[in-house]
Amino acid sequence: MKMYLISDNIDTCTGMRLAGVEGAVVHDKKGFLAETEKVLADRSIAILLLTENFGRDYPEEVNKLKLDVKIPLVVEVPDRHGTGRKPDFITAYVSEAIGIKL
Query: How do beta strands 22-25 and 73-77 pair?
Result: unpaired
State pLDDT tens for residues 51-68: 888 888 888 888 888 888
Helix or strand (DSSP H, E) at 6: strand 2-7
pTM score over 0.85: no
**Pick among 3.40.50.1820, 3.40.50.10580, 3.60.15.10, 2.40.37.10: CATH of 2-98:** 3.40.50.10580
Domain boundaries, the chain: 2-98
State pLDDT tens for residues 27-52: 999 999 999 999 999 999 999 999 88
